[in-house]
Amino acid sequence: MAKSINRYISELLEAYQEATRKTCTEMALDFDITLSNLYLYQNGKGNPRAKTIDKIVNRAEEERPDVFHAVSRW
C-alpha cells in the first residue's frame, strides 16, 4: 500500500531533524512554517497545503539531500 503524504512528510521531518540536529524552532524557521504546524506535521496530523509541502521538500533537498535516502518513497 502506498504511504500517505502525511506519513511521508512526518518521516522526512524526522530524518531532517536527526541529520541536522536542529531544534523544532530552528526547523520551523528553515521551512517558514509555524511551530504549531511543524508539530502537527511531525506527528502525521495537520493538513499541509501543496505550497507548504513544496517548501518542506525543497528546503530539505537543498540543505540535506541525503535525508531522502533515509525516507522511502510513497
Parse the chain into domains and list their residue ranges: 5-70
pLDDT of residue 41: 97
Fold classified for 5-70? 434 Repressor (Amino-terminal Domain) (1.10.260)
pLDDT of residue 1: 55
DSSP state of 46: S
Q: Give CA 24 to chain center in angstroms.
A: 11
DSSP helix/strand/coil, 49? coil
DSSP helix/strand/coil, 45? coil
DSSP helix/strand/coil, 65? coil
- Structure confidence at residue 74 as a pLDDT band (50, 70, 90): low
Q: What is the mean pLDDT of residues 45-52?
A: 94
Q: Which is higher by pLDDT, 2 or 27?
A: 27
Mean pLDDT of the chain: 91
- Cell numbers linked to 55: 517548501
